[in-house]
Amino acid sequence: MKIKYKKKQVRINFLLGMVWLANAIAQTIVNVNLAWFEYLWYLFPAFYLITYFYQKREQYLTIRNETIKQNWPFGKKIKLNHIEKIRHFAGEYTLQSGSQTMKININAIEEESLSNLKMELKKLNVEWV
């Protein structure tokens, strides 16, 4: 099961990528004698557009094979049966196992996916704080 980002969250990255791309193109057109470091303006749109496509493809979380995994390059992974405590505070869930902690920003999750996530977490026999 994939827990999806809010569409607004994903679209903002696309919009920022386009704005930075327009800025980078404007910088290269306006400045006649470009130094090599002025091409670094293209890194900003590249970052936002790569983030947009990655978020669109991978989504926020994946629950599969009794494991919950954050889908970003250094995302955490916790086995559902190792979760001991779930804390809901300030717009996020904190899943705690013996040695690991995973924070899930519920404000970034689509409504339907959020209800699916809550349903999966309620199935666990753990302490809610």
HSE-up of 6 (CA within 13 Å, CB side)? Answer: 10
82 and 124 assigned to the same domain = yes
Percent of the chain with pLDDT over 90: 65
Tell me phi and psi for residue 2, to 5 degrees: -105, 135
pLDDT tens-digit profile of 50-64?
999 999 999 999 999
Residue 11's domain comprises: 2-58
54 and 71 assigned to the same domain = no
7 and 53 assigned to the same domain = yes
Q: Return the C-alpha torsion angle 41, 43, 47, 52, nearest 10.
A: 60
pLDDT classification of 13: cutoffs 50, 70, 90: very high
- Residue corresponding to tokens 């809010």: 6
Provide the H-helix boundaries in the chain: 7-30, 43-58, 111-123
pLDDT tens-digit profile of 74-118?
889 999 989 999 999 988 999 999 889 999 999 999 999 999 999
More confident residue, 129 or 7: 7
pTM for the full model? 0.80
How many domains is the chain built from?
A: 2
Cα gap 61→41, rounded to integer Å: 31
Q: Is 116 helix (H, G, I), strand (E, B) or coil?
A: helix
* Nearest Cα to Cα of residue 63 among 81, 51, 50: 81
Tell me phi and psi for residue 95, to 5 degrees: -95, 125
pLDDT for the residue numbered 69: 93
12 and 36 assigned to the same domain = yes
pLDDT tens-digit profile of 17-29?
999 999 999 988 8
Q: Buried (b) or exposed (e) across 96-117, using 16+ Cβ within 10 A?
A: bbeeeebebebebbbeebbebb
Cα gap 15→48, rounded to integer Å: 9
pLDDT classification of 12: cutoffs 50, 70, 90: very high
pLDDT for the residue numbered 129: 85
53 and 101 assigned to the same domain = no
pLDDT for the residue numbered 75: 87
Mean predicted lDDT score pLDDT of the chain: 91
50 and 95 assigned to the same domain = no
